Amino acid sequence: MRAIHELQPNALWQHFSAICDIPHPSFHEEQIREHLIGFARAHNLEWLSDDAGNVIIRKGATAGMENRAGVILQGHMDMVPQKNSDTTHDFTTDPIKAYIDGDWVTAEGTTLGADNGIGMAATLAILAATDLQHGPIEALFTATEETGMIGAQGLKPGVLQGKILLNLDTEDEGELYIGCAGGARMEITGQYTPEAVAGEFSFKTLAFSGLKGGHSGCDIHLGRGNAIKLLVRVLQCLQEHGVRIASINGGSLANAIPREASAVIAIPESALAVCAQIIDQCSNDISAELAVVEPDLQLTLSDAAPATQLMPLADQHKWVAAVSACPNGAQRMSDSIEGVVETSLNIGVFTVDEGKVCAHVLARSLVGSCNDALRDAVAGLFRMIGAEVVYQDSYPGWKPDPDSQVLKLMQQVYHDLYGKTPGVQVVHAGLECGLLGSKYPQWDMISLGPTIRFPHSPDEKVHIQSVARFWDFLVATLKAVPAA
């Protein structure tokens, strides 16, 4: 079986293979940062690492191209760490086990990191190449994009000299992206005083698994199940029969649609039979509702070790009701951009244990005021039950510029290569272009990438032939950049 470093374009895939070997989840980017700096030193390229953890590498123009406009190739260093529940993997120490599956490259039970490892690999291949034609290049590798866009937030104006930014972080080859949604994260917390178990209970684990999950921007329109919302839906039915919550563990990241959620519950011995019937009915109902989009969904009830403490009934009712009532998924489609979600919300994390409750929520919108309104509505809902709501990082959207000169150039280059005009899109996911453009308003920005499916989930995969087309298009674009 071929290894991924044997694929074409060979230089790109070799760099991607090396990236897969280096642990680089969000907030653990030290090793990939050192790899980039070591690469720059090995190739005698100018580099710097700023206070925000970004790495910038500069490469001069090739002979005869010195007068061309400077181009910034931009991607992010971190990857989303998601794995299947039956996969043993430590993202801070273990390499990604990437392999070829037909026309795709994917990973064994974990996210692949093609988002944004392919973008990084393409940039490194260009920086190392001696047979390409291009003007001055600056490579900007940003830190911790997936959780707060921290590197882009901390980038200082005036550091980069280029005029054109090519963001290599979108996931549909043949499409050029010229705008994106903004986002706002919230952390919702609460406390309760656990009470001792009193009465005859049978302890069980109620769990949803087998859902597809996915990217809370790119995949939010697909109507996939949110394991947290589904779990709370069942709990709401069960608590009418005296079922108590000992703990809940759902989701792991605000920007990933949760694939799994579980609760340790105490069922009164007298209600075991009726609760089993309710769970079976819920399972049948939900499976029927989501049969097309979630064919592998499972709701299971299994024995659990007895807990010593339970969430008080009043607190349980408040939190179950609030999470049940909280908006989730696509909220409104854009009036101006056909087929694009305007505003959405994702409940990505919900945990209850040892007197503490925590939820992480991410609102997105193409319209800043709509994002603010949705965020405030969710905050108001949870503040009504006494929760503390903290607005965390937020980032602006990227306003489309349909008259972009770089867009026109790249449409022509793509047509010359492939005999067709690329699509022009606005993505509901968050790209760093909004933040970067606020610091460098003179930049003309386009985002592009190969075809990646199911990012932010263990089903993530990248289409091999699309990587080759993406590479050829990127190389041809650099050659065609006009004089400054």
Question: Residue 1 pLDDT > 60, yes or no?
Answer: no
Please indicate whether residue 145 is annotated as part of the active site.
yes
Give the number of other CB atoms < 10 A from CB of residue 66. Answer: 12
Structure pTM?
0.82
Report, as an integer, the average pLDDT of 130-136. Answer: 97
Which one of 380, 395, 410 terminates a domain?
395
Report, as an integer, the average pLDDT of 103-131. Answer: 98
Give the number of other CB atoms < 10 A from CB of residue 2. Answer: 8
Q: Both 302 and 224 in a single domain?
A: yes
Query: Contact at 8 Å (CB) between 198 and 266?
Result: no
Q: What is the pLDDT of residue 78?
A: 98
Q: Both 456 and 475 in a single domain?
A: yes
Q: What is the CATH number of the domain that holds 101?
A: 3.40.630.10
pLDDT digits (tens, 9 = 90+) for 319-346: 999 999 999 999 999 987 888 999 999 9
The rounded distance, in Å, linking the Cα atoms of 184 and 374 is: 10
Which two three-digit tokens encode residue 480? 């065609």
Lowest mean pLDDT among 109-113, 214-218, 269-273, 317-321: 214-218
Query: Contact at 8 Å (CB) between 377 and 356?
Result: no
| Position 394 confidence tier, pLDDT thresholds 50, 70, 90 | confident
Most confident of 147-151, 179-183, 233-237: 233-237
Q: Both 253 and 138 in a single domain?
A: no
As a whole-number percent, the residues of the chain with pLDDT over 70 amount to: 100
- Report which of 463, 459, 453, 452 is spatially closest to residue 212, judged by C-alpha positions: 459
Q: What is the CATH number of the domain that holds 372?
A: 3.30.70.360
Q: What is the pLDDT of residue 398?
A: 93
Please indicate whether residue 78 is annotated as part of the active site.
yes
Q: Both 389 and 469 in a single domain?
A: no
| Position 314 confidence tier, pLDDT thresholds 50, 70, 90 | very high
Q: Both 115 and 98 in a single domain?
A: yes
Which one of 355, 377, 395 terminates a domain?
395
Question: Residue 409 pLDDT > 90, yes or no?
Answer: yes
Q: Both 120 and 207 in a single domain?
A: no
The rounded distance, in Å, linking the Cα atoms of 454 and 219 is: 8
Q: What is the pLDDT of residue 2?
A: 72
Annotated catalytic residue: which of 29, 115, 145, 172?
A: 145
Question: Residue 210 pLDDT > 60, yes or no?
Answer: yes
Residue range(s) defining the domain that contains residue 409: 4-181+397-480
Which one of 363, 380, 395 terminates a domain?
395
Q: Both 170 and 313 in a single domain?
A: no
Q: Both 374 and 418 in a single domain?
A: no
Annotated catalytic residue: which of 29, 78, 172, 260?
A: 78
Report how many domains make up the chain: 2
Q: Both 253 and 297 in a single domain?
A: yes
The rounded distance, in Å, linking the Cα atoms of 166 and 168 is: 6
Tell me the residue type at 201. F
| DSSP states of 316-330 | HHHHHHHHHHS--EE
The rounded distance, in Å, linking the Cα atoms of 61 and 191 is: 59
Q: Distance of CA 435 to CAs 72, 204, 261, 408, 438, Å?
A: 15, 46, 33, 23, 5
| Position 281 confidence tier, pLDDT thresholds 50, 70, 90 | very high
The rounded distance, in Å, linking the Cα atoms of 41 and 124 is: 13
Q: What is the pLDDT of residue 147?
A: 87
Report, as an integer, the average pLDDT of 198-209. Answer: 96
Query: Contact at 8 Å (CB) between 164 and 436?
Result: no
Query: What DSSP character marks residue 7?
Result: S
Tell me the residue type at 208. F
Q: Both 90 and 100 in a single domain?
A: yes
As a whole-number percent, the residues of the chain with pLDDT over 90 amount to: 92
Q: Both 162 and 188 in a single domain?
A: no
Q: Position of tokens 């953890």?
A: 53
| DSSP states of 167-208 | E-----TTEEEEEE-EEEEEEEEEE---EE--S-EEEEEEEE
Report, as an integer, the average pLDDT of 75-98. Answer: 95
Give the number of other CB atoms < 10 A from CB of residue 74. Answer: 30
Q: Both 91 and 121 in a single domain?
A: yes
Could you tell me which residues are beta bridge partners of residue 350? Answer: 250, 359
Handedness of CA 5, 30, 471, 60 (dihedral sign): negative
